[in-house]
Amino acid sequence: MDRVILHCDLNCFYASVELLSRPELRESPVAVCGDPESRHGIILAKNEAAKQYGVQTAETIWQAKRKCPELILLPPHRDRYQTFSRLVNAIYGQYTDLVEPFGIDESWLDITGSMHLFGGDAAAIADWIRARVRRELGLTLSVGVSFNKVFAKLGSDYRKPDATTVIPREGWQEIVWPLPLGAMLYAGPAAQRALAKYGIRTIGELAGCGPALPEQLLGKLGRQLWEYASGLDGAPVRPQHEREPVKSVGNSTTFRENLTSRAQVRRGTARLCDSVAARLREQGLYCGAVAVGVRDAAFRTVSRQTRLPHSTHLRRELLEASMGLIDKIWRPPAPVRLISVTALALTDRLETYEQVDLFAPHRPAEDGKRERLELAVDEIRKKYGGEAISFGEAGGHPEDLPPED
């Protein structure tokens, strides 16, 4: 028996939540941005009215304003988004206990074992859920219905806003295979470029080429994407309470050439901290300690760790703590072959471990701005792939921003 999977995606989530408290703006073009006072702030979300002007997520405010001079800018309120995310997932939980959140505004539901309790029609259940969310919370969502998670997500993206799309077992190729490769989960820009060199630009072309070439070009990811394109995704829907508790989050890199300057080491460490911080935020975690390891050309590894003054999931704070440790165990130009960064003492909330110095300078506004920036980068990467955007090593500003559909 085939599974029945729903993928529910809240439409224009940030903007929709903001407009609940500003109903007079509902018909106006509105965007949520990280810093409304800065021309170089990033558009985090926009409503349907702003989309009509071509406003795109991840472009700068000045670019958006050039397209839509009357665009209204609103600051983000992360706490509100988290509250509504919990409320929406509580509604989903009334239809199945198999609910897997995917970010703050998307969730998979496996209703295979429970749909008979609600009439047995998956599309009708999806419509009921959409109606309830609209009536009870004032938000709209698009729902994809299919026999696996990847195609269910394709369905929720297929028609927006406020729509249900079914991709059935019979004839799924007619719907899925003509779609561009980038429409499929985890087929980011780098994978698309690599496959396009061999004339593979649609999901159907990927399925038709067999697994060998994608695996040769992209490794395990290539094989995985080929399986997705062939309708072979069998990943289960995993509810949050079934996930094993994470004790650490880390990453390491062995460099092609040994690093000999502090600038090179800092750049390499910055990339690792970016990866670790993004994974912490993805799992809703903070770390209270950080460990680093440095391996030299003779394969000797020295490690150190330190407690942080407060828990964090921000790249800049991990980077400064990591470089503080590295400076204690390494001196240039001694060659560095490998660096590792590991976040420890994980918690699901912000905590302070040291007594607060009332006379020390503290810049909560800057901290909040930095968090909004990194959360914006997370959203862009989730949509366009991990290589879609990066931080400038020194300033922490995103570069090469991609457009949104």
The 10s digit of each residue's pLDDT in 79-88 is 899 899 999 9
- pLDDT on residue 167: 98
Confidence of residue 35 (pLDDT cuts 50, 70, 90): low
Say whether pLDDT at 332 is over 80.
yes
- Residue 39, judged by CB atoms within 10 A of its CB (0-12, 13-18, 19+), counts as exposed
Lowest mean per-residue pLDDT among 27-31, 364-368, 400-404: 400-404
Please give the CATH topology (third level) of the domain spanning 1-168.
Answer: Alpha-Beta Plaits (3.30.70)
Say whether pLDDT at 272 is over 90.
yes
Measuring CA to CA, which residue among 295, 289, 250 is closest to residue 272?
A: 250
For range 307-312, the mean pLDDT: 89
Give the CA distances from residue 40 to residues 59, 62, 174, 316, 402, in Å, rounded to whole numbers and listed in that order: 9, 7, 42, 20, 15
**Pairing state between β 301-312 and 286-296:** antiparallel
CATH 1.10.150.20 in the chain is located at 177-229
Confidence of residue 363 (pLDDT cuts 50, 70, 90): very low
- pLDDT on residue 284: 82
Lowest mean per-residue pLDDT among 75-89, 277-291, 368-382: 368-382
- How much of the chain exceeds pLDDT 90, in percent? 66
- pLDDT on residue 364: 46
CATH 3.30.70.270 in the chain is located at 1-168
Say whether pLDDT at 353 is over 60.
no
- pLDDT on residue 281: 86
The CA distance from 328 to 205, in Å, is 52
| CATH placement of domain 243-399 | 3.30.1490.100
Confidence of residue 166 (pLDDT cuts 50, 70, 90): very high
DSSP string, 182-194: GGSTT--HHHHHH
- Residue 387 falls in the annotated catalytic set: no
Confidence of residue 1 (pLDDT cuts 50, 70, 90): confident
DSSP string, 295-343: EETT--EEEEEEEEEEEE--HHHHHHHHHHHHHHH--TTS-EEEEEEEE
Q: Which residue has the higher pLDDT, 354 or 6?
A: 6
pLDDT digits (tens, 9 = 90+) for 102-124: 888 999 999 999 999 999 999 99
CATH superfamily of 177-229: 5' to 3' exonuclease, C-terminal subdomain (1.10.150.20)
Confidence of residue 273 (pLDDT cuts 50, 70, 90): very high
CATH 3.30.1490.100 in the chain is located at 243-399
Give me the catalytic one of 106, 205, 374, 379: 106
- pLDDT on residue 58: 77
Measuring CA to CA, which residue among 393, 229, 208 is closest to residue 316?
A: 393
Q: Which residue has the higher pLDDT, 253 or 246?
A: 253
For range 183-195, the mean pLDDT: 90
For range 13-34, the mean pLDDT: 93
- pLDDT on residue 319: 96
The CA distance from 209 to 195, in Å, is 10
pLDDT digits (tens, 9 = 90+) for 190-226: 889 999 999 999 999 999 999 999 999 988 889 999 9
Residue 275: how many CB atoms within 10 A of its CB? 19
Q: Which residue has the higher pLDDT, 48 or 383?
A: 48
The CA distance from 200 to 216, in Å, is 14
- pLDDT on residue 235: 93
- Residue 169, judged by CB atoms within 10 A of its CB (0-12, 13-18, 19+), counts as exposed
Residue 384, C-beta contacts closer than 8 angstroms, at least 6 positions apart: 58, 188, 189, 402
pTM listed for this prediction = 0.68
Confidence of residue 265 (pLDDT cuts 50, 70, 90): very high
Say whether pLDDT at 135 is over 70.
yes
Say whether pLDDT at 230 is over 60.
yes
DSSP tag of 240: G
- pLDDT on residue 239: 87
The CA distance from 106 to 89, in Å, is 9
The CA distance from 181 to 196, in Å, is 9
